[in-house]
Amino acid sequence: MDKPLKIAIAGLGTVGAGVIKVLNDNKDLMSARCGRSVEVTAVSARDRNRDRGVSLDSFTWYDNPVDMASDDNVDVVVELIGGSDGIAKALCEKAIENGKHVVTANKALIAHHGTALAKAAEAKGVNVMYEAAVAGGIPIIKALREGLAGNGFSRVYGILNGTCNYMLTNMRETGRDFDVILSEAQDLGYAEADPTFDVDGIDAAHKLAILTSVAFGCEVDFDGVQTEGIRHVSPIDIEFAEELGYRIKLLGITSRQNGTVEQRVHPCMVSKETPISQVEDVFNAVVCEGNFVDKVVLQGRGAGEGPTASAVVGDLVDIARSLSVPTFSVAADKLEKLSSASLARHKGSYYVRLMVVDKPGVFADIAGVLKEHNVSMETIVQRNRAPGETVPLVLTLHETSEDSMLKALDGIGALDSVVETPRMIRIEDF
């Protein structure tokens, strides 16, 4: 049996306490699988005295987590503080500098500074690992970087934010509005007091930027992710989606075409027949499209104490077993710098909902604008005829460029008989 792997944990919230629980509860299992024990030796958190359901007595306590990076009795620093900069970044940099491995659940940190951290770590011969940063308990980083490494990937996409998926599922099941569901989700602890990171798609965008690098072997480019959240999704769109054979999901989608990468996070309509449309509530799922394996779907819990701790400990097991793989699939100094494909040039199908005054000639006006921009219609649904009143009119459009679609929407929105800003949701053909 080799000597123990010694762990320092920075941040003892839900996940930090979870990691301690896993290492306690599964102690013998870890030793058997790693051929050595995995032991926490040091911890740091804001409040030393909070009851976390685990004893901290046997660990060295640090008021300043960065100091743990200089503790000789530490082989791996587990960073669970969060935030893309500040102390989390300082701790990881220092740990690498001192030749210690880093394991983190911090998606913002990796999305913003992943390339630099990878270069530093690989130069020092240590690992930076972040399985817990993407899709919680689902071992998607390992799948892309190792299990499916025989494949060139054309596209990777998924449900990456459990809060949004829970909200969309709940909206569909109850027909209630976004605001009502959000405040309920906040009361239940499923959404933060400031829900921006979740509902505006930023959290999903962090994760997507990371997936992009792993799948395509390119530098992490969070700024290249084109992001739109779910605030504009309304029950009426969810209802129409259902009628048209779709579900609305907030997806992150990354694809590579001709040396550019298109990264986007936005609400999507996906066919009810696809596996991903059936992933509901807080669950996450990621679909990998490889040139030999075809589609592989991984599904599970994207957040929470147990699943996130499972991912952190998975990384620790790799380190304990002395496994080392390039941080983003290929050596950090070989990562490509891919340019971002503009969403304006994106080609896709679209769902558009208009609120129109129900009077003769409306449809001719709309059709005229669509024709002007070379956008062709696939279906049109009008319900609840009510002459002279405002009624919803739903169109689905055949594949067209986003640029043309947006111009057509501007034209349609300017029509007298169209009384609200048109709502557009992209239809994804998986």
Which residue is catalytic, options 89, 119, 207, 249?
207
Distance in angstroms (rounded) separating the CA atoms of residues 10 and 60 = 12
| Total residues at interface with its own copies (CB under 8 A) | 59
Q: Which stretch binds its own copies (CB under 8 A): 134-142, 202-210, 228-236, 403-411?
A: 134-142
| C-alpha span between 153 and 261 (Å, rounded) | 12
Q: Which stretch binds its own copies (CB under 8 A): 44-52, 149-157, 192-200, 375-383?
A: 149-157
DSSP one-letter code for 3: P
**For its own copies, which residue of 180, 331, 367, 381 counts as binding (CB under 8 A)?**
331
Nearest CB to its own copies, comparing residues 250 and 303: 303
Closest CB to its own copies among residues 76, 412: 76
Q: Interface mask (CB under 8 A) for its own copies, residues 20-49, using x and -? A: -xx--xx--xx-xx-x--------------
CA distance 251 to 269: 9
Contact 160, 203 (CB under 8 A): yes
Say whether 88 counts as a known binding-site residue. no
DSSP string across 37-95 = -EEEEEEE-S-SSS--SS--TTSEEESSGGGGGG-TT-SEEEE-S--SSHHHHHHHHHH
C-alpha 50/C-alpha 215 separation (Å) is 40
Rounded to the nearest angstrom, the gap between the alpha carbon of residue 367 and the centroid of all alpha carbons in its chain is: 37
> Which among 218, 220, 237, 267 has a CA at the least distance from the CA of 171?
237
- What six digits make up the tokens of 354? 């208009």
Contact region with its own copies (CB under 8 A), list: 55-63, 187-195, 218-226, 320-328:
320-328
Is 312 annotated in a binding site? The answer is no
Residues between 356 and 415 that touch its own copies (CB under 8 A): none
Q: How far is the CB of 151 from its own copies (least distance, A)?
A: 6
Inter-residue contact 326 to 122 (CB < 8 Å)? yes
124 or 321: CB nearest its own copies: 321
Options 130-138, 195-203, 392-400, 417-425: segment touching its own copies (CB under 8 A)? 130-138
Known binder of ligand: residue 10? yes
State the nearest-atom distance from the C-beta of 218 to its own copies, in Å. Answer: 11
Q: Is-contact 296 288, C-beta < 8 A?
A: yes
**Angstrom distance (rounded) from CA 397 to CA 134:** 33
- For residue 296, the SS3 value is strand
Work out the burial of residue 28: count CB atoms within 10 Å of its CB; fewer than 13 is exposed, 13-18 middle, 19 or more buried: exposed
In the range 202-241, which residues lie near its own copies by CB under 8 A? 217
Q: Is 104 annotated among the ligand-binding residues?
A: no
Q: Which is nearer to its own copies, 151 or 186 (CB)?
A: 151
Nearer of residues 280 and 365 to its own copies, judged by Cβ: 280
Question: DSSP for 406-429?
Answer: HHHHHHHHTSTTB-SPPEEEEEE-
Distance CA 161, CA 172 (A): 17
**Residue 293: both structure tokens together:** 């394996």
- Single residue of 147, 231, 234, 349 touching its own copies by CB under 8 A: 147
Residue 321 binds its own copies, judged by CB under 8 A: yes
6 assigned to active site: no
- Minimum CB separation of residue 39 from its own copies in Å reads 14
Q: Residue 87 corresponds to which tokens in the numbers above?
A: 């102390």
Query: What φ, ψ does residue 101 adopt, rounded to 5°?
Result: -70, 155
Residue 12 counted as an annotated binding residue: yes
What track of x and - describes contact with its own copies for positions 269 through 308 (by CB under 8 A)? ------x--xx----------xxxxxxxxxxxx----xx-
Residue among 138 and 167 whose Cβ is closer to its own copies = 138
Beta-bridged to residue 380, according to DSSP, are: 395
As a whole number of angstroms, the distance between CA 134 and CA 333 comes to 23
Q: Does 317 bind its own copies (CB under 8 A)?
A: yes
Q: Which of 112, 139, 104, 127 is closest to 312 using CA atoms?
A: 104
Q: How far is the CB of 193 from its own copies (least distance, A)?
A: 26
Q: Is 15 annotated as a binding residue?
A: yes
> Considering the rule CB under 8 A, would residue 124 count as an interface residue with its own copies?
no
Binding site for its own copies (CB under 8 A): 18, 21-22, 25-26, 29-30, 32-33, 35, 131, 137-139, 142-143, 146-152, 217, 275, 278-279, 290-301, 306-307, 309-314, 316-318, 321, 323-326, 329-331, 334
- Report the binding-site residues: 10-17, 107, 192
The residues assigned a catalytic role are: 207
- Report the binding-site residues for NADPH: 107
